[in-house]
Structure 1
Amino acid sequence: MAARNRPVSTRILSWHSIKSGPPFEELIPDLFARIPRDGVTVVDLQDLFFRYTIDSATAFLFGQSVASLKMDQSELGFAQAFNYSQEAITLRFILGPLGRIFPHKKADKCYRLCRDFAARFVDEAVQAAQSEGADGTSETKHERYIFSHELARRTSDKRRILDELMNVLLAGRDTTAGLLSNMFFMLAKHPEVWDKLRQEVATLEGRLPSYEELRNLKYLRCCMNESLRLHPVVPVNGRIALRDTVLPKGGGKDGRSPVFMPEGSTIEYNVYAMHRRKDIYGADADVFRPERWENGQLQPRWEYLPFNGGPRICLGQQYALTEAGYVTVRMAQEFRTLKSQDPGPWEEALTLTLCSRNGTKVSVTPA
């Protein structure tokens, strides 16, 4: 695909925008306020992580958070509509052509609610871009980087801006919340890993981590890598051949011969299964063990695709890893113990992304 036809968001979702934009710390007090600290009361961190990430993503994208962490369950209008829309999209994908036979009025209402909510921020962003002078100054000043405003500086097509905002909202919110939920489910089941992680975080001496410090916390990255390996947030994916092409491997009796893929063919691949291959990850590939990533022991290439790769790599990858790392560090600084209150193993809940079917039920005590 030519560069000019790629999503505008691909070209502006830079490391600089991530560093200067998302209000990660501003939302931490709202997150902590929802977590009981007596070591007995059970809290579902998965619900809180999904609220946190939609709050941070909407603040980054629209310039205004939906503030779901401050709401009671009955007040979660946009957040609930966004969740239901994803479930409905998954159902329609499963039904295929049969989906046209069964109208889904609630889903259609949720779609409209989400797009109407975002559309007003698109209008504001376009107006702000049009009011800018030749020197880039504007009558509407914002201290924080706002993604929708940057999009509006690149294109005035409101439909395109809206579509790209909703796409990045899904990528930035769900991948992060799924990673945090799945990882904390396993951290709670493995207290020795939680203790080791807290020891590394203790090197910060209680201060808020900078972006550079986050990237240098090696065991934190091991934990995130292992969670994304064992429970990839996008567990299955596919591509359509735009022209006749040949895959270098996959054919023949041994699966090592080339495979011809005619134009229009769909290629599906299972990341979840590949991440558990024992010939790549060892005999304990089904076990949560972050240490397998230490000291460069494991350096897979195309065998490790939590965010896919190549020209279609996930736009929200750096955003998700930065936010998940930041939240994990702050949780480790705030809470000494993390105890699982779910007697069963991790079970999957799959919509457009993968998270825990039973939530992430834990109890904690303060540091």
Structure 2
Amino acid sequence: MDSVLTIRNLFFAGVSFVIFYAFRSVLDNRRFKKFARENGCEDPPLFKDKLPWGIDTIYKLITFKGDLLDDWVCKQYYELGATWKGNVLFGDQVINTSDPQNIQTILGVKFKDFEIGEKRHRPIRYLIGNGIFTSDGPTWSHARAIMRPQFMREHISNLEATERHMQNLLKAIPADPTSGWCDEIDLQPLFFRLTMDNATEFLFGTSVDSQLTAMAPATTGDAQTVQTRATLMAAGKSGENYSFGEAFTTAQDYISWSFRFQQFYWLIHLFSTKYRRACQFCHRFADYFIEENFRQHKEKKPEKSNSGETYEKYVLLEALAEETQNRKELREHLLQILLAGRDTTASLLSWTFLLLSRHPHVWARLRKEIIRDFGAGSSADKELLTFHRLKSCTYLQHVLYEALRLYPVIPANHRRATADTVLPVGGGADGTKPVAVRKGQVVAYSVYAMHRRTDIWGDDAAEFRPERWQGRKLDWSFLPFNGGPRICLGQQFALTLASYVVVRILQRFDKIEPVDSSTPIEKFLSLTISPANGVKVRLGLAGRSQ
């Protein structure tokens, strides 16, 4: 009898819950429709799925084999307009937009109405924890306040360490002294090693020297010894024999798949031992340098520049340790900045040189202006390579902007509404009416699609033409580094490093040839986008190539 009563009670409790939930949903829908009417809002176009809850769309997204950005994302914007709605799992509707006004509203005008949200936090948090890229509210404000002073101009304008890593990259591109040409080479892994080496020196005070290791594994020296101790310690604790760069790349590849699985991101975490061990390796590696920093407690020794002058080397870890003694917090700050600092700049450099190899007239003009402004690369010319002069080389900046326009390293992003709010355009038959956004609703924005809109950039929007930037002002239609209060703190750090690398390579080589210019450009989509087939070129030594 008791069991019958228990089942009956559970049944009535379940029915009551369903009735309550349905009643609350009705009231909530009425309230939201009233809010939309009062603000003159209309719905944007709806992408219609064939199966309930967007199941078919999610399946296609996971199994898609073509160019996800061009053949999927841009195609939907082309067919539905700059703002539209689509279903995701369990009936949620995501608003998608490539409209500069809407993106400005989300990131700037109504910044407080939107947050990153747990859908982006959770898949990436196991690797890099809580910090500037994976938090909202007070936690984000605290992380931002700590990090902002570290990217002041005086901290990123010293290029002595960058030159050392640049020399290692140039050694990895040997040219035949007779012909003046180098054999076929893939520049992309060289760029990823350079940005890793430069970033780890900035963060830890010691570079991982991945470029030297790749060229000669037996390379020794104080920096290499420290790196080796950290690597051995991390490998022993994690159970995997990686290099730090390999572990970091492995973890990011798994995270990119986690985002595709959306709510079921935890499947990747649960079943992938390799992913967990890669993350653990990265944690242990960073922890080694953090402990070294606390253990030393001695005055920093001044560094010597190439000209023999001494200067004080800036190390991000040392600066952060003055703000917090929490080891875990320090590790999370460091890994978050490394995630942004390595891949984004390496991807920008890869796209830039891939495009230059296929547009020799742009290479020729750029090299002419570089030689005019910075010389041919002699020891005396190195004094010309300063932060200010790099930034003022107009055509160089236009080339980088154009590469970022065509291939923004973060092609898409999203925000979650923290309150009922309104986007200024996108609703109605003509797309000019406001769009109401419900509290908790996700708004996805595609920088990639916006950067290729012909109504903004002209009929040649898909073409690489740096000259389009002549006289053009930066606005919300160009967003490679995000915008508003969450604009990328490392923007100038990335552009300065990219500018420096471009100048030094074009000083050394006067010709570039793509290995196969007829091959269509394909994209590898991880947390950033990079050329799927690398940057395979031949370079001609200045003054010798014919």
Q: Give the TM-score, by structure 1 length.
A: 0.92
Q: What corresponds to 1:301 in structure 2?
A: 475
Question: Relative to 1, partners in 2 of residues 1:122 and 1:256: Cα closer, same or farther, differing over 3 Å?
Answer: farther
Unaligned residue ranges in structure 1 (runs of 5+): 132-137
**Alpha-carbon shift at residue 21 of structure 1 (Å):** 6.9
Q: What corresponds to 1:84 in structure 2?
A: 250
Q: What corresponds to 2:142 in structure 1?
A: 5
**Alpha-carbon shift at residue 12 of structure 1 (Å):** 2.2
Q: Is the 8 A contact 1:308 1:314 kept in 2?
A: yes
Q: What corresponds to 2:375 in structure 1?
A: 205
The 1-side partners of 2:149 and 2:440 are apart by: 28
Question: Relative to 1, partners in 2 of residues 1:6 and 1:260: Cα closer, same or farther, differing over 3 Å?
Answer: farther
User: Highest Rg: 1 or 2?
Assistant: 2
Cα distance per residue 1:224-265 (max 9 Å; x no partner): 000000111111111122333222222222222222223222
Deviates more, 1:97-106 or 1:85-94: 97-106
Amino acid of the structure 1 residue aligned with 2:475:
R
SS across alignment from 2:467:
helix
The 1-side partners of 2:210 and 2:394 are apart by: 32
Q: What corresponds to 1:45 in structure 2?
A: 187
Q: Is the 8 A contact 2:173 2:182 kept in 1?
A: no
Query: Which among 245, 250, 253 is matched to residue 426 of structure 2?
Result: 250
Q: What corresponds to 1:114 in structure 2?
A: 282
The 1-side partners of 2:456 and 2:255 are apart by: 34
Task: Tell me whether 1:232 sits opposite 2:232 in the alignment.
Answer: no
Query: Which among 259, 276, 281 is matched to residue 93 of structure 1?
Result: 259
Amino acid of the structure 2 residue aligned with 1:42:
E
The 2-side partners of 1:61 and 1:258 are apart by: 45
Question: Relative to 1, partners in 2 of residues 1:230 and 1:264: Cα closer, same or farther, differing over 3 Å?
Answer: same
Q: Is the 8 A contact 1:46 1:359 kept in 2?
A: yes
The 2-side partners of 1:349 and 1:51 are apart by: 18
Q: Is the 8 A contact 1:37 1:363 kept in 2?
A: no
SS across alignment from 2:322:
helix
The 1-side partners of 2:520 and 2:330 are apart by: 41
Question: Relative to 1, partners in 2 of residues 1:45 and 1:29: Cα closer, same or farther, differing over 3 Å?
Answer: same
Cα distance per residue 1:30-77 (max 9 Å; x no partner): 101111324251100001000100000000001011111012389671
Q: What corresponds to 1:24 in structure 2?
A: 162
The 1-side partners of 2:174 and 2:285 are apart by: 32
SS across alignment from 2:391:
helix
SS across alignment from 1:82:
helix
Q: What corresponds to 2:338 in structure 1?
A: 169
**Alpha-carbon shift at residue 336 of structure 1 (Å):** 1.0
Amino acid of the structure 2 residue aligned with 1:100:
W
Q: What corresponds to 1:134 in structure 2?
A: none
Aligned residues: 357
The 1-side partners of 2:294 and 2:148 are apart by: 19
Question: Relative to 1, partners in 2 of residues 1:346 and 1:268: Cα closer, same or farther, differing over 3 Å?
Answer: same
Q: Is the 8 A contact 1:21 1:145 kept in 2?
A: no
SS across alignment from 2:157:
helix
Q: Is the 8 A contact 2:405 2:451 kept in 1?
A: yes
Query: Which among 311, 314, 317 is matched to residue 145 of structure 1?
Result: 314
Amino acid of the structure 1 residue aligned with 2:186:
D
Q: What corresponds to 1:64 in structure 2?
A: 206
Q: Is the 8 A contact 1:232 1:354 kept in 2?
A: yes
The 1-side partners of 2:209 and 2:192 are apart by: 12
Q: Is the 8 A contact 2:417 2:437 kept in 1?
A: yes
**Alpha-carbon shift at residue 316 of structure 1 (Å):** 2.0
Question: Relative to 1, partners in 2 of residues 1:58 and 1:105: Cα closer, same or farther, differing over 3 Å?
Answer: same
Q: What corresponds to 1:135 in structure 2?
A: none
Amino acid of the structure 2 residue aligned with 1:193:
V
Q: Is the 8 A contact 1:36 1:363 kept in 2?
A: no
**Alpha-carbon shift at residue 78 of structure 1 (Å):** 0.7
Q: Is the 8 A contact 1:21 1:144 kept in 2?
A: no
Identity of aligned residues (%): 41
Deviates more, 1:317-326 or 1:158-167: 158-167
The 1-side partners of 2:348 and 2:503 are apart by: 14
**Alpha-carbon shift at residue 195 of structure 1 (Å):** 0.6
The 1-side partners of 2:205 and 2:534 are apart by: 29
Q: Is the 8 A contact 2:411 2:447 kept in 1?
A: yes
Deviates more, 1:145-154 or 1:89-98: 89-98
Q: What corresponds to 1:322 in structure 2?
A: 496
The 1-side partners of 2:402 and 2:197 are apart by: 26
Question: Relative to 1, partners in 2 of residues 1:254 and 1:113: Cα closer, same or farther, differing over 3 Å?
Answer: same
Cα distance per residue 1:161-186 (max 9 Å; x no partner): 11111111011111110000001000
Q: What corresponds to 2:108 in structure 1?
A: none
Q: Is the 8 A contact 2:169 2:211 kept in 1?
A: yes
Q: What corresponds to 1:36 in structure 2?
A: 174
The 2-side partners of 1:23 and 1:247 are apart by: 45
SS across alignment from 1:72:
helix
Q: Is the 8 A contact 2:161 2:198 kept in 1?
A: yes
Question: Relative to 1, partners in 2 of residues 1:333 and 1:74: Cα closer, same or farther, differing over 3 Å?
Answer: closer
Q: Is the 8 A contact 1:339 1:364 kept in 2?
A: yes
Deviates more, 1:284-293 or 1:247-256: 247-256
Deviates more, 1:41-50 or 1:150-159: 150-159
Q: Report matched runs for 1:280-299 at 5 Å.
A: 280-294=456-470, 296=471, 298-299=472-473
Q: Is the 8 A contact 1:235 1:270 kept in 2?
A: yes
Unaligned residue ranges in structure 2 (runs of 5+): 1-136, 218-241, 303-311
The 2-side partners of 1:121 and 1:245 are apart by: 45
Query: Which among 511, 526, 530 is matched to residue 337 of structure 1?
Result: 511
Q: Give the TM-score, by structure 2 length.
A: 0.63
Task: Tell me whether 1:313 sits opposite 2:487 in the alignment.
Answer: yes
Question: Relative to 1, partners in 2 of residues 1:353 and 1:74: Cα closer, same or farther, differing over 3 Å?
Answer: farther
Deviates more, 1:118-127 or 1:218-227: 118-127
Q: What corresponds to 1:124 in structure 2?
A: 292
**Alpha-carbon shift at residue 96 of structure 1 (Å):** 2.8
Amino acid of the structure 2 residue aligned with 1:348:
K
